[in-house]
Amino acid sequence: MSSANTPVRIGLAGALGRMGRAIAGALDGRPDVRLALAFDRPGTEGRALGALKLGTAADIARCDVAIDFSTAEASVLLAEIAAGEGAPALVVGSTGWTDAEDARLRAAALRVPIVRSGNFSLGVNVLAGLVEAAARRLDAIDWDIEIFEAHHRRKIDAPSGTALMLGDAAARGRGVALADVEVRARDGITGARPEGAIGFSVLRGGGIVGEHEVMFAAEDEILTLKHSARDRGLFARGAVVAALWVAGRPPGLYDMMDVLGFRS
């Protein structure tokens, strides 16, 4: 736990990955946080991350908050370790969740506070609010919703967690469950678009950091809401903001809308 003079002790999972290194960079030099533990896959113990040697997930209880942008499977295991120890709080940016993994994370959140988000960008979370508001006002009879996302060739899940977050926002605006109206793929003779469908289109290629676009298409006009990520540093900085916010919170499953004060 931090005080005015004591920085929040951060544990960093997936420390050798692209996001892990970006988060380590975002922590560097800040007086309000301290990288107390970093770890990655088994067998990496002892490798250097700056001045720090990699440890293991078994040591996370000595941290105030652990940040994890690895995989949903690894995040669930980390959350269950934290729940068993009663610490630390977690910031989770992993995507590609199965229903079973989601249920296990929610169970862990009964014991420790967890911030999970498909995207830690301030801009994307404002975009989600705008999408929900637009979907509430633009009737499904006249307006089709299509969500386009593009990421680098190394991304393993699709649609992205951010695209699904935007889909959930659009579905909330229309008072429906995304699972009941989503269309994730089209191929062959698909027939006419179902009324009220929320479609997803995906591109993977090159080094694209992240592009997300929500189109509301009517017969005679189109409204497009878009966000472009230029550097992973913006996600890393958002994760640090979330870590500072969740330290000392009561158990529960939170997201960036809570962190940014958009939800009471």
* Predicted local confidence at residue 264, as pLDDT: 59
Give the separation between CA 241 and CA 19, rounded to whole angstroms: 15
Residue 1 has pLDDT above 80, yes or no: no
Q: Can you tell me the mean pLDDT for 206-224? A: 96
Residue 155 C-beta-side C-alpha neighbours within 13 Å: 24
Amino acid identity for residue 186 in this structure: R
Per-domain boundaries in the chain? 8-120+232-259, 122-229
> Which active-site residues does the annotation give?
151, 155
Give the separation between CA 158 and CA 96, rounded to whole angstroms: 8
Six token digits for residue 260: 């940014």
Burial of residue 113 (number of CB atoms within 10 Å: 0-12, 13-18, 19+): buried
pLDDT in tens, 27-57: 998 999 999 999 988 888 888 887 788 999 8
Q: Can you tell me the mean pLDDT for 130-146? A: 96
Q: Can you tell me the mean pLDDT for 205-234? A: 94
Residue 173 has pLDDT above 90, yes or no: yes
Q: Which phi-psi region, left, alpha or beta, contains residue 248 (left: φ > 0; alpha: ψ -120 to 50)?
A: left
* Predicted local confidence at residue 84, as pLDDT: 95
Length of the chain: 264
* Predicted local confidence at residue 42, as pLDDT: 85
pLDDT in tens, 76-102: 999 999 999 999 999 999 988 999 999
Mean pLDDT estimate for the chain: 92
* Predicted local confidence at residue 233, as pLDDT: 83
Amino acid identity for residue 86 in this structure: G
One fold for both 8-120+232-259 and 122-229? Answer: no
* Predicted local confidence at residue 198, as pLDDT: 98
With H, G, I as helix, E, B as strand and everything else as coil, classify residue 12. strand
Asked: is 8-120+232-259 a CATH 3.40.50.720 domain? The reply is: yes
Helix (H) or strand (E) holding 243: helix 233-246
Q: Which CATH number applies to 122-229: 3.30.2000.10, 2.60.120.10, 3.40.50.40, 3.30.360.10?
A: 3.30.360.10
Q: What is the dihedral of CA 77, 81, 83, 87, to 10 degrees?
A: -130
